[in-house]
Amino acid sequence: MKFSILVNEGPYTHQASDTAYQFVKAALAKGHEIYRVFFYHDGVNNGTRLTVPPQDDRNIVKRWSELAAQHKLDLVLCIAAAQRRGLMDKSEAKRNGKDADNIAPGFRISGLGQLIEAGIQADRLVVFGA
């Protein structure tokens, strides 16, 4: 089956991102396809490479980046939600006159249309959080 995933909550405060990650990993292990993982609301905070969790805790952002590299996942941060919350890639930082970017490897920033398209293309869209 072809799944799309929507993550609506940030890392550490809510379990949504953890559960979404475990779901994606399990689905891939069963041979399913993940069409896209879309991060919305505070969920965009899952895409900052500046996160530094304690060493005895899981690294939620790094975990997503590694899974993306391993399975060529499409991890998309909503641009409107990202701009509100200070998530930037190089070109967004430049366009908005900011002095830094913070997007983690494997993530990209794009529009809400990518969420709608993910719903259209997948057999199931599964929402985590909110």
| Cβ-based neighbour number of residue 29 at 10 Å | 8
CB of 44 or CB of 67, closer to other proteins: 44
CB of 50 or CB of 120, closer to other proteins: 120
Under the binding rule (CB under 8 A), the answer on residue 50 touching other proteins is no
78 is known as an active-site residue: yes
Residue that has been written with the tokens 């830094």 in this structure: 100
Under the binding rule (CB under 8 A), the answer on residue 120 touching other proteins is yes
Shortest Cβ 42–other proteins spacing (Å): 8
Under the binding rule (CB under 8 A), the answer on residue 37 touching other proteins is no
Under the binding rule (CB under 8 A), the answer on residue 31 touching other proteins is no
Q: CA neighbours within 13 Å on the CB side: how many for 44?
A: 23
CB of 21 or CB of 40, closer to other proteins: 40
Catalytic residues: 78
**What residues line the site for other proteins (CB under 8 A)?**
2, 6, 8, 40-41, 80-81, 111-113, 115-117, 119-125, 127, 130
